[in-house]
Amino acid sequence: MPAIQEQVLAALFARLQTLAGSVAGLQLERERDTEVTQFPFVVQRAGDERTETIASGIADHFLEVEIEAYAEGTTALAARQAVSDLQARICNLIAADPGLAGTAVDAAGTGMRGAVEFARGQQPAAAAVFLFEVHYQTREADRYAVP
């Protein structure tokens, strides 16, 4: 069985994959390390984590997750609007199940970073990074077990 952190990240990615049914041509990937060349595209990345022990034997973990969204449009404004639409859809998905199918205590958006427009050949495109914090728990001495 994977560590609880991996279960949480997999549950979040499973939620994101449901976007493919409502966003035409959407590609999704975890921890992508190469340039995005197809649009629209969403990348989930695990970030920093802090851990606190608030009760005997229980560790609370607060994991930063970055969700990168890429889109294109007929104009720079249209591309930015497409990224904004992806942000709204992603936030709504997470808000609808902040416990990520029972793997987390809570998941919530914490901000946005780096909204930019750029040209992809002759096609305007835009990208942004949406920041989320996922709170989950494990036993203090066993990251494979929930309390």
Q: Return d(Cα 140, Cα 51) in angstroms, integer.
A: 10
* E-state strands within the chain: 27-30, 41-55, 58-72, 106-120, 123-139
CB 32 within 8 A of CB 43: yes
pLDDT (0 to 100) of residue 72: 93
pLDDT-flagged residues of the chain (< 70): 120
Q: Return d(Cα 122, Cα 74) in angstroms, integer.
A: 9
Computed on alpha carbons and rounded to an integer, the radius of gyration of the chain in Å comes to 17
Identity at 93, one-letter amino acid code: L
**Residues of the chain by 3-state class (helix, strand, coil), percent to 5:** 25, 45, 30
Q: Return d(Cα 96, Cα 88) in angstroms, integer.
A: 12
The full set of domains in the chain, from first to last, is: 4-139 (3.30.70.1700)
How many degrees, rounded to 5, is the angle at CA 52 between CA 51 and CA 57? Answer: 110
pLDDT (0 to 100) of residue 1: 87
| Cα-based distances in Å from 2 to 10, 20, 27, 116, 144 | 10, 25, 25, 36, 7
Place of tokens 């959407």: 26
pTM confidence score: 0.93
pLDDT (0 to 100) of residue 86: 96
